[in-house]
Chains A and B, each alone.
Chain A
Amino acid sequence: MTVTIYVPRDAAALALGAEKVANAITQEIAARGLDAKVVRNGSRGMFWLEPLVEVRTEHERIAYGPVKAGDVKGLFDAGFLEGGQHALHLGPTHDIPFLRQQTRLTFSRCGVTDPLSLDDYRHYQGLKGLENAIAMTQAQIVAQVTDSGLRGRGGAGFPTGIKWKTVMDAAASQKYIVCNADEGDSATFADRMIMEGDPFVLIEGMIIAGIATGATKGYVYTRSEYPHAIATMTEAVKIARAAGILGPSVMGSVHAFDMEIRSGAGAYVCGEETSLLNSLEGKRGIVRAKPPLPALQGFLGRPTVVNNVISLASVPVIMDRGAAFYRDFGMGRSRGTIPIQIAGNVKYGGLYETAFGLSLGEIVDHIGGGTATGRPVKAVQVGGPLGAYFPRALFDTPFDYEAFAARDGLIGHAGITVFDDSADMLKQARFAMEFCAIESCGKCTPCRIGSTRGVETADKIAQGIEPEKNKALLADLCNTMKFGSLCALGGFTPYPVMSAMNHFPEDFEPAPVVEAAE
C-alpha cells in the first residue's frame, strides 16, 4: 500500500521551510525506493510545530514537527513511515491537545485534505450544504442562515441572513456576491488559511449565497500580499468550473453561478466594504457614504452581498448540519464558532476554532501558553490595528461581540497579538495613529488630518512637552475621530490609542531626563 506523507503548502509553513522539507522527503523516497507519496495539505494551524509533517498509517495520522530538511534522513531511519519513534514524534495528530480541544466546523478540512482535490473535498462532507441548498427555495436558505445566528466574521458582526434577505428582496437584472478577502489586520490569517487550505469551502459558500439571493456572479477580492492564496483560489475556481460546480448550471441545477479572483494593491482601507467595491470597480479605494447600502447599490450600483471569507466559509456547514446545530455553540448573541488567531509574542501561536465564550485569559495563558520570550504578558491587542489593547486586569472578558464592546474593545476578525513587558504602549499608540495616517483614504477630515495630528501629539508626550495638556488633546482628538469619521479606519483608531492611554498610564509619563554623557 502506498503510504501518504503530508507536508503543508500553507504560506506560514513555507515561510518556515516546508518546501525544502517536501523536496528532501521526495528525494529520500526515491533514493530508498519506497512506496510512498507526498501530498501538500493546508496547515492545521499550529505554527510552533510547522513544518508539521504527517504520515498516514493504517489507522491514523501521526504527526512530526517542527521538521527541518536536515531531520528528514533521520526520520526515515527511525521508520516514520510506520509511525516510528523519533525526537520530533508528536503522536496521532488529532490527539495533540491544541487541536483536540477545538471545535472545528469552518476549518474541519483545513490541514486534513489536499486543498485542490475535489475527491478529498467530497469525502469530507464537501458539497453537502450546496446539495441541500439546491433543493430549497431562496427564502428557506436565507431563513436557515438567519436562524443559525451567523454574524459577519470580518469584524462588524452584522447578521449575515439579514444582509442576504435585503439582496434577495431587491429587484435587479444582475446581483453580485463579493467576498471580502482583504485580510489586512495584523494578527489575522484565518482567511489566508482557508483560501490556501480549503478553497472549495469558500467557493461552495459563495454559490449558496448566490442561489439564496439570485446573484449569478461572484468576486473574491483579496490582497496582493497573499500570492499563495491567489494561486490556490484561482486554481480551485478552474477545477470547480471544469467539474460543473461553477458555471451556467451549478451541479446540474437551474442555477447559474461563476466567479473570479481579484487582487488589491496594498491599500488597507480596501478591507472596508464600500472602499473595496470602489477598488473592484477600478477606482481609487475611497470610502462611500452609506446609505445607499451595498446590499441595494453595491458593485456597479447593483445589489451586492459583501461578506467576509469566514462568514461565507461557515455557510456550507450550516446548510449541511442545520441552523440549530450551529446555533447551539456560543454564548449570548454570538452564536457558533470563531477561529481565534493567536499571534505575536506567544508560545503556542496559531488558529484555534472554538465556540464563542472563552475568556481572554484562557486564550492567552492556557491555549497560547504565555509569551514566546518567557517574559510576563503586558498587553494583548484584540481585533487588529483598530482593536483595543487589553491589560491582564481585563483577562476575564469572554470572547463575545457584546462583551468586548462593553469594555471599549472589539473582536474584529478575531486576531490577538500578545506583547511581553518590554512593549512601550505610548509607542504602540503612536503607531496606531501613524498606520491610520499611512492608510487613510483621505475622504473625511477627522481621519485624514486627525491621524497626522495624533502622531505629532504622541511625539510631544514622548518628549515631555506639556504632557498633561497633550494627553487631554490626544483624548479629545480621539473623540473627534471616533464620532466624526466616515468608516472604521478613522472611527476605530481611537480604540488602541485610548486603551493604551487608559490601561497603561505609566507609559505616558514623561521619561526621566538623563544627563548627556560628555
Chain B
Amino acid sequence: MNMRISAGEFTERSLQIIRDLKHLEGPMLPILHAIQAEFGYVPDEVKPVIASELNLSRAEVHGVVTFYHEFRDHPAGRHVLKLCRAEACQSMGSDRIADRARQLLGIDFHQTTLDGAVTLEPVYCLGLCACAPAAMLDGEVYGRVDEHCLSEIVAEARR
C-alpha cells in the first residue's frame, strides 16, 4: 500500500518521471498526471521535488495541484465511480440516481466507502449527453443508467 512508501522512494520514483517529461513545453500537467498514475494521488512529498526540477517555488506547484479537480491529495478507493451531474443528465433524472448511489454506498460525494472499495465523485459532463444519465467506473463508461444498472455497477465495484 501507499503508506509503506518512504519519502526517499517518493523522491526517487518521481524524479524519474519528472526527468522523462521535463523536456516538454509546459511539462507540469503531464508530470502531475504521471505522478498520479504512479501513486494514485499527488503526495505532498513530491511537490518540492517537482519545484526544484522545474525551477519553481513549492507554492507555485501547490497552487497548480490544488487548482484542478482531478488531482487528489490522498489515495482514492480501489475503484472510482463518477456520476455526471450536469444539465443533460439532470433532464433524465440523474439527481435520483445520485441519491440512490449515496444510499447504496453509504457515502456522499468526494468520500470513500469504509472498506476502501469505492470513491464516489461528481463529474460535469462525460460527453454522453444523448444517452443520459451517464457514469464512469474507472475508465469504463455507462449510458442510460437506471437504478438496476447502478446496482450492477456498484456490485461490480465492490467485488
Within 8 A of A (CB), among B62-112: 63-64, 67-71, 86-92
A385 touches B33 (CB 8 A): no
Q: Are A341 and B26 in contact (CB under 8 A)?
A: no
Choose among B25, B32, B64, B127 the residue that contacts A226 (Cβ–Cβ < 8 A).
B127
Binds A, one of B1-9, B11-19, B141-149: B141-149
Taking CB as reference atom, which chain A residue is nearest B143?
Answer: A15
> How many interface residues does chain B have, given as a range?
35 or more
- Are B30's CB and A262's CB within 8 A? yes
Q: Is the CB of A184 within 8 A of B91?
A: no
Indicate if the CB atoms of B69 and A267 lie closer than 8 Å: yes
Quick check: which of A145-153, A418-426, A473-481 contacts chain B, the rest being far away?
Answer: A418-426
In contact, A418 and B33 (Cβ under 8 angstroms): no
| B residues near A16, Cβ cutoff 8 Å | 131, 143-144
Evaluate contact between B129 and A282: CB separation under 8 angstroms: no
Residue among B24, B67, B87, B127 making CB contact with A428, cutoff 8 Å = B87
Asked if A211 is at the interface of the complex by the 8 Å CB criterion, the answer is: no
Q: Does A47 contact B (CB under 8 A)?
A: yes
- C-beta contact mask, B132-159 vs A, less than 8 Å → 1, else 0? 1010100101111000000000000000
Chain B residues contacting A228 (CB-CB under 8 Å) are: 141
Within 8 A of B (CB), among A330-366: 341-346, 349-351
A280 to B25, CA, bound (A): 8
Report the separation of the CA atoms of residues A188 and B124 in the bound assembly, to the nearest whole angstrom: 12
Residue of B nearest to A183 (CB): B127
A268 to B67, CA, bound (A): 11
Judge whether B129 and A14 touch: CB under 8 Å.
no
A431 within 8 A of B: yes
* B26-53 CB contacts (< 8 Å) to partner A: 26-30, 32-33
B120 at the binding interface (Cβ < 8 Å): no
Please, how many angstroms separate the alpha-carbon atoms of A211 and B141 in the complex?
A: 38
**What 0/1 readout, one digit per residue, does chain A (104-123) give for beta carbons within 8 Å of chain B?**
00000000000000000000
Cα distance A206–B127 when bound, in Å?
Answer: 23
Q: Is A279 an interface residue when CB atoms closer than 8 A count as contact?
A: yes
- Contacts A381-B87, A423-B91 given: A262-B29 contact, CB under 8 Å? yes
Report chain B residues within 8 Å CB of A376: none
Q: Which residues of chain A are near B128, meaning CB under 8 Å? A: 11-12, 15, 189
Is there a chain A Cβ closer than 8 Å to B130's Cβ? yes
Given A15-B134, A381-B87; A188-B129 close (CB under 8 Å): yes
Count how many chain A residues have C-beta atoms less than 8 Å from C-beta atoms of the other chain: 66
* A415 CB–B CB distance under 8 Å: yes
Q: Is the CB of B130 within 8 A of A341?
A: yes
Contact A225 B126, beta carbon cutoff 8 Å: yes
Q: Is the CB of A189 within 8 A of B70?
A: no
Q: Does A192 contact B (CB under 8 A)?
A: yes
A446 within 8 A of B: no
- Shortest beta-carbon distance from B126 to chain A in Å: 5
Cβ–Cβ < 8 Å partners of A300 in chain B: 25-26
How distant is the Cα of A228 from the Cα of B64 in the complex, in angstroms?
A: 25
Q: Report the bound CA distance from A431 to B90 in whole Å.
A: 10
B129 adjacent to A417 (CB under 8 Å): yes
CB-nearest residue of chain B relative to A342? B130
Query: Quick check: is A227 within 8 A (CB to CB) of the other chain?
Result: yes
Chain A CB within 8 A of B123 CB:
yes
A385 partner residues in chain B, CB cutoff 8 A:
86-87, 124
Among B27, B126, B129, B131, find the residue whose CB has the most chain A CB atoms closer than 10 A: B129
Q: Is the CB of B127 within 8 A of A189?
A: yes
Kindly identify which residue among B32, B69, B124, B131 contacts A12, using a CB–CB cutoff of 8 Å: B131
Contact of A372 among B27, B87, B92 (CB under 8 A): B92
Residues of the B chain whose Cβ atoms lie less than 8 Å from the Cβ of A372: 92
Chain A residues positioned under 8 Å from B127 (CB to CB): 11-12, 183, 188-189, 191-192, 225-226
Q: Which of B29, B70, B134 contacts A282 (CB 8 A)?
A: B29
B125: Cβ under 8 A from any A Cβ: yes
- Inside 8 A of A341's CB, which chain B residues have their CB? 129-130
Residues of B within 8 A of A509 (CB): none
A residues with CB within 8 A of B: 11-12, 14-16, 47-48, 50, 183-189, 191-192, 217, 224-228, 260, 262-268, 279-286, 299-300, 341-346, 349-351, 372, 381, 384-385, 415, 417-420, 423, 428, 431, 435, 438-439, 441
Closest 6 CB pairs of A and B: A282-B28, A349-B130, A15-B143, A265-B68, A186-B86, A343-B129
B residues adjacent to A (C-beta < 8 A): 24-30, 32-33, 54, 63-64, 67-71, 86-92, 123-132, 134, 136, 139, 141-144
* Besides A344-B129, A344-B132, A381-B87, 5 other A-B contacts (C-beta < 8 A): A15-B128, A281-B28, A341-B130, A345-B92, A346-B130
- Sample (22) of A-B pairs whose CB atoms are under 8 Å apart: A11-B128, A11-B141, A12-B130, A15-B128, A15-B134, A16-B131, A16-B143, A217-B25, A260-B24, A262-B26, A265-B68, A266-B69, A283-B28, A299-B25, A299-B26, A344-B92, A345-B91, A345-B132, A349-B129, A349-B131, A385-B86, A428-B87
